[in-house]
A and B are shown apart, each in its own frame.
Chain A
Amino acid sequence: MTDQEKIEKLKARLGEKILDIANPAVRRVFLTVVPADVGAAAEVLKTDIGTEHLSTISGVDLGEAFEVIYHFGDSNGNVNVRTRIPRADPRLPSLCPVIPGAILYERELQEMFGIVVVDIPDPRRLLTSDDWPAENYPLRKDWKFERPEEKIPGGKR
């Protein structure tokens, strides 16, 4: 399926839900929707276009908002579904009911950006250590790593 056919199909099926659609390069389609419509977009990609493979979810800190990009891709090429959530209320519906493989990437988002994924099947901590301090989200732009003061047990005082 060519990019143009894909765009036509997405426009036909999603209609008003599409905020923006762009095709900046060959086999790269960028689709913008509101957070609540990401599931619907994934459903259309799965059933009408046949793109079921979610490569990953990228989070980007834009300051006032977080941009979340879902990268889908298979033999049809690559479709990226973009959405924005406010920093003050970073809530996102889970994509797991449509694509079970999304769980990893959603957990990563929760931990790295402090985005709350609503109805996530498994909200446990993902990659940071068990004693990682709360409210510390490493990939937010305002987070800076500070090396804790080294304490040598029984060492020099």
Chain B
Amino acid sequence: MKFQIPIGPQHPALKEPISLRMTIDGEVIRDADIRLGYNHRGVEKLAEERTYIQNIYLTERICGICSHSHALVFTQGAERLLEVEPPKRGIYLRHLVAELERVHSHLLWLGVAGHEAGFDTFFMYTWRDREVVMDLLEMISGNRVHYAINTLGGVRRDVDEALRKKILEGIEVLKKRSLFYLNVGATEPTFVGRLAGVGKLSKERALALCAVGPTLRASDIPNDVRKDDPFAFYDEAPFDVSTADTCDVLGRTVVRIKEVLESYKICEFILKNLPPGPVAVKAPRRPKPNEVVSRYEAPRGENIHYIKSNGTDKPERLKVRAPTLGNYAATVEMLRDGFVADIPLIFAAIDPCICCAERTVELRNARTGEERVVRFSELRRMAEERFRRLPPQRNVPWPF
């Protein structure tokens, strides 16, 4: 006997609105279906009516966690259209914020993973330490979430010597803590036992379903846009692509901890080799008709923007593909044949950012069998019809 159970759009296990519809057989998930659209804001349409400068702030608001990565990838593309080369110091500072954002995003995710696995101490530790990096970001940009540091032709704020020292000190603290988490992750048997073998995604399927980011790298595919498409300064920065070969939630955790450690390396490189000079140059307002594909490795995976200009100060088309969207098809695969109790863990393991994915889209799964999804209005209609056909019952006892 198979049942369909809805999880969401509003559900205590989910932080953002999404509807997961599970076909279950006992405790085992046989099929999963995802319906998006609860958070759709039409950002792409909106972007066509905004100038390039305004769009930096619009794209920054696509996401609340990886806000900088959207603004960065848009600015990078727009700069190429405008044929502006930002000064080196500007590029370095822009990517300093980007790497610090990766650190805060991954620490946040580690906490969530700990929480979903029932290890709340881990959650409290990581989120406490995340405050260190949040404070650093606030010191650099003046904001905790939407840093608004990008502008066409560079960045809007400079880092002075005192702040540079402070950031290095902060990174030293974070590094120690992250090594401690790596140690906890590797030696705490209950935690490892809970994560191992959950949400399997084989290498072949990960490739075929176009998964991105840590989900892909945990399936032993070393794809990282920073390495593959070394825009800006990533060809100079020392870092390794983190992978794991376990293909499960444990692998995804390990990849993220490794990646945080790599990010510290990049941050230290930036701060120790910060070139002198201005942080921004003046950029023109109108690009020539052209098109550009801009890619960046956001904390959740490949972020790609396609921008087409038409000679005016507004883009003809802005296409945004946020990383979470790329991972949904793989999530269905991971959920299949898993247990109901693993749903939050598996779903959290792609680090879903629903508001990111929903500037446009949703997903599929080939429905088979006779199960029918009944909408509430339909259900009510059926109930009314049935009631009409049945004579009203008299003398029905009150059930108490």
Contact = CB atoms under 8 A, between A and B. Distances in A.
A76 B36 CA distance: 32
Closest 6 CB pairs of A and B: A101-B210, A56-B321, A122-B364, A58-B319, A127-B37, A75-B228
A121 B364 contact: yes
Interface string B290-303: 00110100000010
B227 A75 contact: yes
A53 B317 CA distance: 23
B40 A128 contact: yes
A78 B321 CA distance: 15
Interface of A is mostly: mixed
Contacts of B293: 28, 71, 78, 80
Interface string B37-61: 1001010110000000000000000
Contact of B208 (A99, A129, A138): A99
B184 interface: no
B115 interface: no
B297 to A, nearest CB: 11
B223 A74 contact: yes
B286 interface: no
A73 B326 contact: no
B366 A53 contact: no
Contacts of B225: 73
B210 A108 contact: no
Interface string B265-292: 0000000000000000000000000001
Given A99-B210, A107-B364, 13 more contacts: A53-B212, A55-B295, A60-B308, A73-B228, A78-B229, A78-B293, A103-B363, A104-B329, A107-B362, A108-B360, A122-B366, A126-B36, A126-B362
A115 interface: no
Interface of A: 25, 27-28, 52-56, 58-61, 69, 71, 73-78, 80, 99-105, 107-108, 112, 121-122, 124, 126-130, 138-139, 145
Contact of B210 (A53, A59, A61, A127): A53
Given A60-B308, A104-B325, A126 B361 contact: yes
Given A25-B80, A129-B37, A58 B364 contact: no
A145 B308 contact: no
Contacts of A138: 42, 45
A74 B228 CA distance: 7
B208 A52 contact: yes
Interface residues of B, number: 45
B223 A53 contact: yes
Contacts of A121: 364, 366
B210 A54 contact: yes
B248 to A, nearest CB: 20
A55 B302 CA distance: 8
Given A55-B326, A71-B306, A130-B375, A78 B295 contact: yes
Nearest to B303: A55
A58 B44 CA distance: 11
B210 A77 contact: no
A59 B358 CA distance: 17
Given A104-B328, A112-B360, A127-B360, A73 B229 contact: yes
A139 B45 contact: yes
Nearest to A74: B223
B207 interface: yes
Contacts of B365: 122
Nearest to A73: B295
Given A77-B229, A127-B360, A100 B317 contact: no
Contacts of A129: 37
12 contacts: A52-B208, A55-B304, A55-B321, A69-B306, A75-B227, A78-B295, A101-B326, A104-B363, A107-B362, A122-B364, A128-B40, A138-B45
